[in-house]
Structure 1
Amino acid sequence: MKRYSIAVPLALVCVGAHAQSTLLLYGLLDIGVQYTNDAQVRGQSGRLAGASQFAMTDAHATGLSGSRWGLRGSEDIGSGMKAVFVLENGFMANTGTLAQGGAEFGRQAYVGISAAQVGTLTLGRQYDPYLEFVQPLSATGTFAGYMGSHPDDVDNLANTNRVNNAVKFATNKYGGFSASGLYSVGGVAGDTTANQIWALGGGYSNGSFSAGIGYLNARDPNVSFYGNTPNKGVATVDNIGTFGSATSPQGNPVYAGFASASTLQLIGAGLAWNFGTTTLGAVVTDTRFSGLGGTAAPNPRGYQGNVNFLNAELSLRAYVTPALLLGAAFDYTKRNSIDGGARYLQLDFGTIYSLSKRTDVYALTVLQRASGVDSLGQQAVASISGFSPSTTGHQIGARIGIRHKF
């Protein structure tokens, strides 16, 4: 990504002998047109019906990378240390509106200290270590984008949810190894564990082989994890999704029914092997909602106990030419039988062609099949991430787009 850098001597703004500040402006625009063969819409009889849909959307819905602009800065404060900050705004390129629920800097907003020999300590709204170490090894993190994430992004590998009020420390890389830890302060008087989030991650890379592992634990996830944007956050409302109605589509039916969980746990691990121009990848994740019925969040199905989603993905991507990348992935998701259980099979196909170092065009296709009973207690329907759920157990989504980095 090309970035514009402005170096400003610190002496211009305060007394300092050799310090220097840098400010980088960067961004990305991703927009395209998409099609699905079946999406929930209001039918003529006042009931939900299935219909094909053709639309123009920003990448936050279905594309490769969310549109954004940001400022990244650093200031040399001596002794090998720097003050650092990032302010990153996400927006919808097709309408110009704010993404991340209307947050001005909804992607990232943090400040901290970086020590050359140790690592970086930051505070603010940030990405968690689970995401940072596992996502780059998945199809979503390489060629399939948001629509290629696992059903309704149940394991958050598409970065649907970020972490507020977070303190994070990330080590430098030593011999190919690196690690990170995060703690989000809950901020509830009299209960230090309420709404808290903590996460750990680590990875190794030596060029031809990469591996990553991550863990995240969120208390009261309906508020702390799924409700941390301006348009959400009410404890008594389902911030994950919606059960829908006779005239309005459901939202995230794969797991929206589990908003009453007292704890969310995400565990993931991934590997990638590079063979010249070809890379084989594998990712396994486990998403667990524990203590169902333990919070004030809606629980119309009266769920109790625990539920978990086990997900396994295999991917293959290859550069046919230096400018043309082809990728394919197979994903299997299984949920345990708290109410009958559900299974989701998904195929992802992606093509990315680089017109230049900063601009590429792409085509994505996702096919999904669902069976069993979903979190809403209904016959499971296919629900490709970013699309309105299908009315049946099958759904096809396709997108053609363009992405420009600056």
Structure 2
Amino acid sequence: MNLNHFFKLALLPLSIHQAFAAQTEQPGTATQESPSFVSRFMNDDNPLRVNFELGDHPSYFQVYGLVDIGLTHINHSLPESYELANNFYPYAGAKKTARTTSRTNWVNGGWQGSRLGFKGEVAKLQAWDHDFKFIYQFEAGFNTLDMKLHDAAQTLADNSGTNANSSVSTNSSMNGELFTRQAWAGIDGGSLGKLTYGTQYNPFFEITVTYDPNGKADSFSPLGESGTVGGGGGVSENSRMKNSIKYANVYELEDHDKINYAVINQFGNSAGTSHGNGFTTQLGYESSAFGVQFAYDKFFDSVRSGVAAPGNPLANDTIAVALLNTEAALLTGRWSPTKDLKIIGGMEWYQLKPSSTATISYHNLYDQTVFGGVATSALQPSFKQDNHVYYLGANFDFAQRMPALAGLTTSIGFYETKADAIEGPTVSTNSQGKIDTWTAMADYRFNKRFDTYVAYTSNHFSGDKYPSATTYRDVNSVGAGLRLKF
């Protein structure tokens, strides 16, 4: 690996920023009355927002997005997969196969998965002497390097049967649909709260976005890499809840302190719309110096997809589907002893249990053929498995004490993921394991649009779940990248 590549990548946004600045300063390219598009793009908070009147209702429509490209080195990995939001997956570990080597390559979503979306509102819709707003948001996730939609199910199909271990693969809540990240609409009643319906983030996911010391980095933080622990309460597919209705509200106290609460319910188990049914509740308190969030969820007949029948040629280009009942709780906290320092931590517990329904027919799921045409419970009756996640870290903003370094922030965090043995009539010792993860990041923001980052993560695997004969015990990754937000 040539480290010069990382330094060149980190300096690229500075060149871009200087080019934009030079363009906006040229005589005749912009005036105070009519700023150029480049000037508006670089300086406006929402450069692609259009305000208009729909009848006598104030409205807006906004296009937004994020592009994240990085260069990453990992010491043990199968070939990268560009259909995943994170193309390498150090937190998942690495099997000892002929295709597993050290690798250096460009990736999409070193920090955040690239996305493109639109949102808007139509305001002052009066009813019962109260003003309401119609609100909506639709968001697609895509890979900047090949312009394909995120499609984890395709990576599973590519690794099933005789193609086992051909590339990085995993299950996810993003499986090739156009607006797979978000797709919802609803009503905002101000102090009465918001009521929305569609494909929406599980509150577990939304909490960990804010309460991860390393910013829920897609390729470097367990909470960003894994929907299982970073949003799904035990099943990655549940980090986004399809066919769901959500009510959320914020109650403002004195001194701008806030109490927030929410409840969301996913309906039914219908192939093509939603898979499993369940609910999540959330309660939190936020102030400038302190914050705490708690969430609890419970799901029935949740779908967990995976690779099908390794080595069996009949399983090529198919996926396997398992069913689970889950129960989970998440508690996080944030303390800011000074304006430049935040200390963040949390703990999560989730339990995997046999599904309520022993088998469900799924001949096709996520546009993939289900091997055998049926989903069965991942655990036998009377069995269960408890899992625990603990993390603690801090981030520091240099601007408060060193104005010359304004824009520079650093963070560090430790995460412990512990899987207990599967318990039941018998105990399965090979299901017990632990992952210890250290992650450090540094980010430098040039302006509202561009920033650059460097990051490092170390993952140590131990326990019977990760036997040293077939699994690498230490998987480390380092990378640098650029982000563009608009």
TM-score bracket for the superposition, by shorter chain length? 0.7 to 0.9
1: CA distance, partners of 2:97 / 2:454: 33
Which position in structure 1 is the counterpart of 2:143?
92
- After TM superposition, the structure 1 = structure 2 runs for residues 89-238 of structure 1, keeping only pairs within 5 Å, are 89-99=140-150, 100-140=174-214, 142=215, 144-150=217-223, 152-157=226-231, 161-175=239-253, 176-187=258-269, 195-222=276-303, 226=304
Which position in structure 2 is the counterpart of 1:80?
131
2: CA distance, partners of 1:303 / 1:135: 35
Which position in structure 2 is the counterpart of 1:253?
none
Say if 2:344 is the partner of 1:281: yes
2: CA distance, partners of 1:64 / 1:215: 27
In angstroms, what is the RMSD of aligned CA positions? 3.1
Which position in structure 1 is the counterpart of 2:82?
none
* TM-score, reference length from structure 1: 0.79
2: CA distance, partners of 1:199 / 1:84: 22
Identity of aligned residues (%): 19
Q: Which amino acid aligns with 2:252?
A: Y
Cα deviation, residue 149, structure 1 = 1.6
Cα deviation, residue 293, structure 1 = 9.8
8 Å CA contact 2:113–2:141 kept in 1: the answer is yes
Which position in structure 2 is the counterpart of 1:5?
49
Q: Deviations over 1:316-360 (max 9, x none)?
A: 110123211111101111111222211111100111111112210
Q: Which amino acid aligns with 2:346?
A: V
2: CA distance, partners of 1:184 / 1:299: 20
Cα deviation, residue 208, structure 1 = 1.0
* TM-score, reference length from structure 2: 0.67
Aligned residues: 354
Say if 2:391 is the partner of 1:317: no
The 3 A distance-change label for structure 1 pair 244 and 211 is farther
Q: Deviations over 1:281-308 (max 9, x none)?
A: 1110112111269643467897961112
Say if 2:331 is the partner of 1:269: yes
Cα deviation, residue 262, structure 1 = 3.0
8 Å CA contact 1:119–1:169 kept in 2: the answer is yes
Which position in structure 1 is the counterpart of 2:434?
343
Which position in structure 1 is the counterpart of 2:467?
379
Cα deviation, residue 157, structure 1 = 3.8
2: CA distance, partners of 1:333 / 1:359: 33
8 Å CA contact 1:110–1:126 kept in 2: the answer is yes
Which position in structure 2 is the counterpart of 1:232?
none
Q: Which amino acid aligns with 2:182?
A: Q
1: CA distance, partners of 2:322 / 2:292: 34
Cα deviation, residue 372, structure 1 = 1.3
Which position in structure 1 is the counterpart of 2:112?
65
The 3 A distance-change label for structure 1 pair 203 and 293 is closer
Cα deviation, residue 154, structure 1 = 3.0
2: CA distance, partners of 1:307 / 1:126: 27
Gaps of 5+ in 1: 12-17, 227-238, 248-255, 382-389
Cα deviation, residue 145, structure 1 = 3.9
Cα deviation, residue 364, structure 1 = 1.2
Q: Which amino acid aligns with 2:459?
A: Q
Report SS of the residue matched to 1:147.
Answer: coil
Which position in structure 2 is the counterpart of 1:38?
76
Please state which structure has a larger fraction of its residues in helix. 2
8 Å CA contact 2:121–2:135 kept in 1: the answer is yes
Q: Deviations over 1:32-69 (max 9, x none)?
A: 1111101247xxxx95453101121111xxx2111111
Report SS of the residue matched to 1:71.
Answer: strand
1: CA distance, partners of 2:120 / 2:62: 6
Report SS of the residue matched to 2:384.
Answer: strand
Report SS of the residue matched to 1:98.
Answer: coil
Cα deviation, residue 133, structure 1 = 2.8
2: CA distance, partners of 1:188 / 1:8: 39
8 Å CA contact 2:355–2:378 kept in 1: the answer is no
1: CA distance, partners of 2:347 / 2:307: 24
